[in-house]
């Protein structure tokens, strides 16, 4: 399983636009082949920084989504709202307790 974390810093005036966009596409993303889970997180103390956390069956499934029309359209709309370059990590669980 692949966990994907994406950090996005938005222009303050664009937060509501992103939240609206996320609401429109979240179910479409969750319905993508191989998507197991999707969350949106807010950085404590900084309302301009949001994270997506998603879980995928495999890196191949994640990459298939990243090359889809849904991703291309959503990412193009999202990038226009950024105040800083996004950061992304693909991670695997090492230890669980």
Q: What is the pLDDT of residues 52-82, one digit of tens each?
A: 999 999 999 999 999 999 999 999 999 999 9
Would you state the pLDDT for residue 14? 98
Would you state the pLDDT for residue 81? 98
| Helices 59-66/69-79 angle, 10° precision | 70
- pLDDT averaged over the chain? 97
pLDDT, mean of residues 10-16: 98
Would you state the pLDDT for residue 29? 98
> Does pTM top 0.85 for this prediction?
yes
What distance in Å separates the CA atoms of residue 18 and residue 47, rounded to the nearest whole number?
A: 12
Q: What are phi and psi of 82, to 5 degrees?
A: -75, 145
Would you state the pLDDT for residue 69? 98
Any idea which fold 2-43+56-91 has?
Alpha-Beta Plaits (3.30.70)
pLDDT, mean of residues 28-40: 98
């Amino acid at each position: 399983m692949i966990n994907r974390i994406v950090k996005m810093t938005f222009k303050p005036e664009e937060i509501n636009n992103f939240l609206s966009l996320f609401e429109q596409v979240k179910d479409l993303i969750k319905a993508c082949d191989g998507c197991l889970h999707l969350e949106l997180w807010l950085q404590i103390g900084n309302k301009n920084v949001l994270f997506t956390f998603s879980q995928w069956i495999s890196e191949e499934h994640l990459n298939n989504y990243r090359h889809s029309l849904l991703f291309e359209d959503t990412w193009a709309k999202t990038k226009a709202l950024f105040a800083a370059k996004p950061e992304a990590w693909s991670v695997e669980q090492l230890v669980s307790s």
